């Protein structure tokens, strides 16, 4: 008995320490990014100013004066919001159909959807650029960014929603059928209220994925539809001379999403660990 107690006491102290260390390791790059954003570009690369420097807001003031942070930020908000909404608009009925009216091929369809995520994005970069620029004329438009963000996230959206919907007892939907609800009514009056938590965490995660997406948003936009990812990209210099500026831009780009995530922690944890317990 004594041994067991000692051991669990040790565990009570040791595990939180380990957790803190791991958390700090993960947090450190973010901390360093914010820290560096208060240095001048010159200070940022000098080892003697690693910790001792005069903090400045110069990088942030430059940001709004020189390259219009707000335009990029608004583009990010617009594209991420609409991409998320469209993904849900398609994903909820799709997942509903597969969860409550499965056919023999439902599993195959789900796998096929997931397999689209295995395609290397670089493989279709040239056709995408060529088509959107020369044929469709939608290069660097909100429309294009929204469609692309929506499509690349759709498989995950459907998988997540499918998993949530599967947990709703089939009989409740059947009771709805007996009560004479239309298909749309089943979704609106029964499914959505019951799966609200799952839909919200799916939406939140999708929004974050859209916000952070860089590969396509950087390559399919120039100015009009450019998002914050593009802003960061634009401040990247191969010589690494503008670390202070780059850090400030990056901090400003991730700040909204970090704050959003902070407020929705509970939903996020539920979303990220879905299906893990059952």
Q: Give the nearer residue to another protein in terms of CB position, either 104 or 278.
A: 104
Site residues for another protein, window 206-235 (CB under 8 A)? none
Candidates 37-45, 115-123, 172-180, 267-275; binding stretch for another protein (CB under 8 A) = 172-180
CB of 179 to another protein, least distance (A): 4
Residue 239 interacts with another protein (CB under 8 A)?
no
Residue 104 interacts with another protein (CB under 8 A)?
yes
CB of 263 to another protein, least distance (A): 24
Distance from C-alpha of 114 to C-alpha of 117, rounded to nearest angstrom = 6
| CA 244 to chain centroid | 25
SS3 (DSSP) at 139: coil
Which residue reads 């942030």 in tokens?
Answer: 60
Q: What is the dihedral of CA 128, 131, 134, 140, to 10 degrees?
A: -50
Contacts of 156 (CB under 8 A, 6+ apart): 117, 205, 206, 209
Site residues for another protein, window 41-70 (CB under 8 A)? none
Residue 184 interacts with another protein (CB under 8 A)?
no
From 179, 214, 224, 240, residue interacting with another protein (rule: CB under 8 A):
179
Count residues contacting another protein (CB under 8 A)? 17
Distance from C-alpha of 61 to C-alpha of 57, rounded to nearest angstrom = 6
Q: Give the nearer residue to another protein in terms of CB position, either 122 or 178.
A: 178
Residue 191 interacts with another protein (CB under 8 A)?
no
Residue 167 interacts with another protein (CB under 8 A)?
no
Residue 178 interacts with another protein (CB under 8 A)?
yes
DSSP 242: -
Distance from C-alpha of 52 to C-alpha of 275, rounded to nearest angstrom = 47
Neighbours of 178 (CB within 10 A): 8
Q: Give the nearer residue to another protein in terms of CB position, either 195 or 232.
A: 195
From 49, 71, 177, 219, residue interacting with another protein (rule: CB under 8 A):
177
Distance from C-alpha of 26 to C-alpha of 89, rounded to nearest angstrom = 34
From 49, 56, 62, 185, residue interacting with another protein (rule: CB under 8 A):
185
- Token readout for 121 is 């994005």
Q: Give the nearer residue to another protein in terms of CB position, either 47 or 193.
A: 193
- Token readout for 2 is 């004594």
DSSP 48: G
Instruction: Give the interface with another protein as residue ranges (CB under 8 A).
Output: 104, 169, 171-172, 174-181, 185, 189-190, 193-194
């Amino acid at each position: 008995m004594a041994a067991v107690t000692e051991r669990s006491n040790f565990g009570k102290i040791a595990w939180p320490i380990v957790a803190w260390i791991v958390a700090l390791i993960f947090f450190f790059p973010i901390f360093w990014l914010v820290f560096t954003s208060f240095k001048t570009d010159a200070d940022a690369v000098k080892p003697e100013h690693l910790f001792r420097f005069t903090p400045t807001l110069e990088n942030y003031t430059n940001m709004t004066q020189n390259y219009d942070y707000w335009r990029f930020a608004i583009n990010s908000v617009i594209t991420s919001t609409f991409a998320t909404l469209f993904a849900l608009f398609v994903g909820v009925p799709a997942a509903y159909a597969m969860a409550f009216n499965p056919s023999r091929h439902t599993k195959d369809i789900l796998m096929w959807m997931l397999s689209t995520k295995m395609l290397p994005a670089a493989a279709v970069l040239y056709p995408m650029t060529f088509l959107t620029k020369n044929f469709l004329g939608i290069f660097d438009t909100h429309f294009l960014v929204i469609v692309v963000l929506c499509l690349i996230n759709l498989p995950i959206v459907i998988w997540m929603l499918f998993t949530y919907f599967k947990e709703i007892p089939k009989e409740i939907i059947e009771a709805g059928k007996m009560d004479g609800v239309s298909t749309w009514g089943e979704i609106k009056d029964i499914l959505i209220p019951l799966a609200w938590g799952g839909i919200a965490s799916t939406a939140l995660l999708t929004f974050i994925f859209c916000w952070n997406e860089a590969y396509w948003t950087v390559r399919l936009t120039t100015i009009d539809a450019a998002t914050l990812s593009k802003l960061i990209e634009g401040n990247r210099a191969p010589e690494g001379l503008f670390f202070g500026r780059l850090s400030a831009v990056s901090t400003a780009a991730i700040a909204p999403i970090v704050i959003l995530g902070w407020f929705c922690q509970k939903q996020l944890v539920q979303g990220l660990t879905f299906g893990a317990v059952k």
